[in-house]
Structure 1
């Protein structure tokens, strides 16, 4: 099994891998924090419109997200992991849309497996990525969500990807 890193979403060469998506500052850390706080599932939405449509079909879900670092009008929460740290979800699922990370999660939805990787869960993400790749006979790819323009490398995502790869190499040794 190979482990690749794509520093930009457009550098993903093969969608037949097991993927770990890394958007350290927002989407990945927000999802990990929401799950840690007891949200049973996080539904990634590629756009604000899609998030609103999902909320109409799933009215009991928390509606969370941002555009230009601000929660869109009518949303219950932004996408700050710090904001979610005090959240009491009471068993509610969450719909989340972010500028980059949730869009990338949706882009890769047809892949054999897509995980969320962050500095917060680097060990668990590495362990799951290795197990799924071995179980399915696939390579693994850690994909960085990129800077807001989508074409520039986000250094924090590269750091997160490196931490996940380092954990995977340690676990595989």
Structure 2
């Protein structure tokens, strides 16, 4: 620990650096876990529009993982994720929804609910990371993380639009 503090002494708010790197590892792990979950949710979705949204977010998530690798590289760190217990729980809940609502008209509405919980977790995670990067004046890293945060917010909005365009009504 002493060496990381010595290396970061000149960085503003250097006390956040270790937390920042730990959170980056967590979100990298979460994104990798999410890839599997998105495949399952896409397969289970009945609405073609929802299936397409899951497939698009899968591709977007692959890009977000690459962006996180850039962030790690920019910080001089190896891009190693760790198992994200929060994402694990959210994806377990999505699996339960798929099992419980298979063949039910409410399946797509339930999938959207599960997916939005994932998005809100990611929005919270990336929001914190953007703030930490800003406070430590990691401008390039801040921009990369902001790009991902914006994508997560757009996905959340898209899921709401799909829900409101008929998925929720057809579930009633």
Shorter-chain TM band: under 0.3
- TM-score, with length taken from structure 2: 0.27
Identify the structure with bigger relative contact order (alpha carbons < 8 Å, sequence gap 6+).
1
- TM-score, with length taken from structure 1: 0.27
More helix by percentage: 2
Max Rg structure: 2
